[in-house]
Amino acid sequence: MSLYPINVNITDKLCIVVGGGAVALRKTTSLLAGGAKIRVISPAAHAELQVLARHKEIEWFAREFVEGDLKGAFLVFAATNNHEVQLLIAREAGKYAVLLNSADDPQNSHFHVPAHFRRGKMLVTVSTSGSSPALAKKIRQQLEIVVVPEYEIVADLFSLIREKVVDADGDSLANAELFRRLMQEGIVELILQANWFDLQMMLLRELPESVDAVTLMRKILEKHDTSGC
């Protein structure tokens, strides 16, 4: 099976987790990071899920899954230890066109969650199309060493530049050339080295005059509580 790579926006979308154990907790935690509206359906729930429910971070329906529970949902994680319930969830997912991830049937799931980690806005994922989660985990751990936490600053700065330059200008060729030059001039390395002075000099030199490079730098330094340039 070959999977198509895609990052999905689940902000404020109804995502359902059926099951209340450790697997359900992991799925719920991941969904929370994506800003989803989460509903857990299970007669019993992990203590941490109950805490989330008490704090109104998720909904918890303390009962068995029944027909109709997936109406209006965007995706569902079937994470129970009951094969019959898993099959019912799959049928309901088909009925309501809901994306399905089934813990006990990866081959018939609509999507898999890859091994991943975050660096702020940067999401790094590794997938083996479900063939070897252990291998995906190992590669993810290796990448976490290379893609250090400071890459969060890199991603944030590039986001600010895109907001000021790309969205306002609209000249895709010129913008592509701008980012090519920034990469070639070593913008990533300057950030990883916390060389704020040379970074600001580069931005003043390379960014259009309409962009206030000093203000961009100030925003980045204040957000990440770094020393001034």
- Distances 186 to 1, 35, 60, 106, 162 between C-alpha atoms, Å: 39, 33, 49, 42, 18
pLDDT at 106: 86
Domain residue limits, the chain: 1-113, 114-147, 151-223
In the predicted model, is pLDDT for residue 168 greater than 70?
no
pLDDT band at 170; cut points 50, 70, 90: low
Res. 228 pLDDT band, cuts 50 70 90: very low
Any residues with CB less than 8 A from the CB of 149 and at least 6 apart, and which? 119
C-beta pairs of 189-192 under 8 Å, 24+ apart in sequence: 191/150, 191/153, 191/154, 191/157, 192/148, 192/150, 192/151, 192/154
d(CA 61, CA 109): 23
Q: What is the pLDDT of residues 34-50, one digit of tens each?
A: 999 999 999 999 999 99
pLDDT of residue 94: 97
Percent of the chain clearing pLDDT 90 (strictly above): 78
Output the CATH code of domain 1-113. Answer: 3.40.50.720
Predicted confidence at residue 229, as pLDDT, reads 44
The pLDDT of residue 2:
77
